[in-house]
Structure 1
């Protein structure tokens, strides 16, 4: 059965750190991945079942979903029905009251909050397409977002763990554009490959090679937003060819590089 995918992105220099996505998927399979920003979603149709942290979550039409930065998840459609949603990707500067150390509940069913955020999401694409001023929308959006997040239920806090001292260095090394093998990474850290692979996955929810791929895709998204040619992005980030790049990009982002770049 062929994959059906409808996806569109909107962004503007007038609202840095904000990206809006409208998507509808059937039989889409996402690789487990993270985002460097907050992901605030509105499920319009269908169902999704996903793992985040140590818990399993299910969301359906009318639910709000809030995923913190760097949280590993997949959010694939459940069943045969399409999964449709709006998603705000928000730099933490937009959400000063939220931190990963004071987590919110991931899925929230609240009709009034859902309606308010849906109205904001629905209005923005039209404003951008008509080239209208965003000053009024921005003021209303900030007020509505603050009101919704102020009411968002908290999640029971988990025990705070002190990160392993080698983890930050490993993450920094894996954020380079070119691929770094597990052997070279383990040599740089003075750890055995098997221990490093096992402990890194336990700490972050992704093994080193998947974490590194995630960082390369984030670099690719930045380059594509700046207008870089797709084939150039693929080469500079060390992918063997454009089809190889497109396959990995689509598995994580849920859109091809061309679809992502065409966002306003």
Structure 2
């Protein structure tokens, strides 16, 4: 009975979350890209077998405090683990759906400086620029590897910012990959918000700063991993991570 009650409670929480979420503006486009990507990588590869497809999530989600968002609660993650893992999955022959936070670390950029556009290039005259000699090898490698993955149809990049975008897109990816069964994998390296403000409870515009105290009511984000494994992609292999806190005593 307790298990049934917990299941019903989770289902109600999941329904409440998606009912409250602002709809994705480009959900049709995302679904179309996913279907094309899955179909392309479901045909036989060089070894005569269809590629395995992994969804790598990367970076952290935000929980907006206003509908026209100015303030938000941010789950920080550089995205280094997800981006680096994407490179290794591609090298291992996987096709990768890279679901990443806008502005987070990108695949093939480990050898580049923090601001590659401004640091890796230099002007040669008033009209042209060139790669600085110190970075020429790293820039060429990053561009070539990225081009091969994307042009070859083995890397699909989908950006998100908010917890609403992330979970709606994860749901679309899960249901879209259900058709390939155990050839699908989810490598969940994103730092996902634990709490959020339901859309209907948010103020529309910027919260005014006249008061000394700000009282915000946050609701727990439903645990979607079990929903992913049970409903969205029941045959997929799932890998998730817990935040490791290390305390050092002096």
- TM-score range for the pair, normalised by the shorter chain length: under 0.3
What's the TM-score, normalizing by structure 1?
0.25
Q: Which protein, 1 or 2, shows the higher relative CO under an 8 Å CA cutoff with sep ≥ 6?
A: 2
What's the TM-score, normalizing by structure 2?
0.26
